[in-house]
């Protein structure tokens, strides 16, 4: 559909043309395996080294603290499991602190670790979706081996006080005579926030390339030097023995360039998206007066509007939006048979009738005001149809 409107940039972003151009040589004439020793391989190895240095500079890290992965999910799994199993092996402890609103990559990794004897504490959030640094510190105990709290939530866009959380955790760890690594899922943050790991106070940080104009199937894990870590992929000696497997040189080159561009353009991106977000929110609330914004009003990503339409069915709204040529997403995990309320919204004490009617609209600096006008014009009818459908189903 040539006139379709895309409002789901939190799900994925298009590959930037300049990133594609930078990747192409490593898919064709410079295709060498970077682990080999001949000249063609050396070109690939040098490209990875340059990409690693570029990423390290953006993170305020050393190049040897940067690990390239297949995406955000692998980066998160590797961080959490790599730290946990290393600490368990050293008999340090078996307790992990995370939050109730984490991405499923974090929550499911923690559930997996429970099978190996780990105890998981999920921190609550307030009605705005914020984790309390004080409660994070209070949850830490002598058996704690890792604290993992996201930088910005993927559903409601709420920005967590990560630096304050890390500081509070370190103070508590010092009282216990311990060093407790802090991990953050920063997958949603690269377009809008600084990723300096020292400013954030974190020991591990996860990123996914396709969220900021890079290729799918590529990601980054920052691992602070000296942090206890057990590699999760065995095989060759790639990534300094921490992540085996032949490197995807083109994806790595593209990821580094995409992250560089995203961080360089942050101020412009925030300014443009903030204008669009406010226009979108004002339009939605004018068109559907009982629509409810989910998440902190100001402490949120510049491009995120998560709105509940009480007593409407998100599945129906998404289908009708799609028929109108508008791509968005639900604040719920939907399939054809069931509508499961978002764990994020329920953790924020959003009523069930509102949680099942939540939609997430995410813009970018490529979004046009006319796109928002068209969405706002379509919404009242779509919401009414969804409410009628829900009422008929209930009756």
For residue 393, name the pLDDT band (cuts at 50, 70, 90). low
Candidates 140, 139, 142; CA nearest to 93 is 142
For residue 336, name the pLDDT band (cuts at 50, 70, 90). very low
For residue 36, name the pLDDT band (cuts at 50, 70, 90). confident
Which residues, 6 or more positions from 132, have their beta carbon under 8 angstroms from its beta carbon? Answer: 123, 126
The pLDDT of 105-133, averaged and rounded, is: 98
Q: Active-site residue 334, yes or no?
A: yes
Which residues, 6 or more positions from 266, have their beta carbon under 8 angstroms from its beta carbon? Answer: 191, 192, 193, 194
pLDDT, mean over the chain = 95
pLDDT in tens, 40-79: 889 999 999 999 999 999 999 999 999 999 999 999 999 9
Give me the catalytic one of 107, 256, 280, 334: 334
For residue 331, name the pLDDT band (cuts at 50, 70, 90). low
The pLDDT of 281-305, averaged and rounded, is: 98
Cite the DSSP H helix spans in the chain. Answer: 17-23, 39-59, 72-89, 104-114, 133-139, 162-175, 197-200, 238-241, 249-264, 266-287, 314-323, 343-347, 352-355, 369-394
User: In the 8-state DSSP scheme, what is residue 2?
Assistant: T
Q: pLDDT at position 394, please? A: 60
Candidates 147, 204, 150; CA nearest to 178 is 147
Give CA 66 to chain center in angstroms.
18
The pLDDT of 325-337, averaged and rounded, is: 72
Q: pLDDT at position 237, please? A: 83
The lowest-confidence range among 148-152, 289-293, 335-339 is: 335-339
- 226 with 86: CB under 8 angstroms? no
Q: In the predicted model, is pLDDT for residue 183 greater than 80?
A: yes
Give CA 202 to chain center in angstroms.
16
Q: In the predicted model, is pLDDT for residue 140 greater than 70?
A: yes
Tell me the torsion sign for CA atoms 43, 44, 45, 50: positive
The lowest-confidence range among 48-52, 231-235, 274-278 is: 231-235
CA separation for the pair 115, 92 (Å, rounded): 18
Q: pLDDT at position 150, please? A: 98
Domains and CATH numbers, the chain: 17-264 (3.40.640.10), 266-394 (3.90.1150.10)
CA separation for the pair 276, 266 (Å, rounded): 15
Q: In the predicted model, is pLDDT for residue 195 greater than 70?
A: yes
Burial 107-139 (b: 16+ CB within 10 A, else e): bebbeebeeeebeebbbebeeebbbbbebbbeb
Q: How many CB atoms lie within 10 A of CB 271?
A: 11
pLDDT in tens, 303-329: 999 999 999 999 999 999 999 999 999
- 348 with 295: CB under 8 angstroms? yes
CA separation for the pair 135, 138 (Å, rounded): 5
Q: Half-sphere exposure of 108 toward its Cβ, with a 13 Å CA cutoff?
A: 8
Task: State residue 181 phi and psi, 5-degree precision.
Answer: -65, 145
Helix (H, G, I), strand (E, B) or coil at 140: coil
CA separation for the pair 52, 63 (Å, rounded): 6
């Amino acid at each position: 559909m040539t006139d379709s409107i895309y409002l789901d940039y939190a799900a994925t972003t298009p590959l930037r043309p300049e990133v594609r151009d930078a990747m192409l040589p490593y898919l064709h004439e410079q295709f060498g395996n970077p682990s080999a020793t001949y000249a063609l391989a050396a070109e690939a190895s040098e490209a990875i080294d340059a990409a690693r240095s570029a990423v390290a500079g953006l993170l305020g890290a050393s190049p040897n603290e940067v690990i390239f992965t297949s995406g955000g999910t692998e980066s998160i799994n590797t961080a959490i499991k790599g730290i946990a199993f290393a600490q368990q092996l050293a008999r340090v402890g078996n307790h992990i602190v995370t939050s109730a609103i984490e991405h499923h990559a974090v929550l499911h990794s923690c559930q997996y670790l429970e099978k190996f004897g780990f105890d998981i504490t999920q921190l609550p959030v307030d009605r705005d979706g914020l984790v309390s640094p004080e409660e994070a510190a209070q949850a830490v105990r002598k058996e704690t081996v890792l604290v993992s709290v996201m930088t910005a939530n993927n559903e409601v866009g709420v920005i967590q006080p990560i630096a304050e959380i890390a500081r509070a955790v370190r103070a508590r760890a010092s009282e216990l005579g311990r060093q407790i690594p802090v991990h953050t899922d920063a997958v949603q943050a690269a377009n809008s926030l600084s990723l300096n790991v020292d400013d954030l106070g974190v020991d591990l940080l996860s990123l996914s390339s396709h969220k900021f104009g890079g290729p799918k199937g590529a990601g980054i894990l920052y691992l602070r030097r000296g942090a206890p870590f057990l590699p999760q992929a065995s095989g060759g000696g790639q990534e300094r023995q921490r992540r085996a497997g032949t490197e995807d040189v083109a994806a790595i080159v593209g990821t580094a360039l995409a992250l560089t561009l995203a961080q360089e353009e942050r101020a412009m991106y925030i300014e443009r998206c903030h204008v669009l977000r406010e226009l979108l929110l004002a339009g939605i609330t004018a068109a559907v007066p009982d629509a409810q914004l989910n998440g902190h009003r100001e402490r949120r990503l510049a491009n995120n509007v998560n709105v509940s339409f009480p007593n409407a069915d998100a599945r129906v709204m998404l289908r009708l939006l799609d028929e109108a040529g508008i791509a968005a997403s639900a604040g719920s995990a939907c399939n054809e048979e069931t509508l499961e309320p978002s764990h994020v919204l329920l953790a924020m004490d959003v009523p069930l009738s509102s949680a099942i009617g939540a939609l997430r609209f995410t813009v970018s600096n490529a979004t046009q005001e006319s796109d928002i006008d068209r969405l706002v014009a379509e919404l009242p009818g779509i919401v009414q149809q969804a409410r009628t459908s829900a009422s008929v189903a209930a009756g």
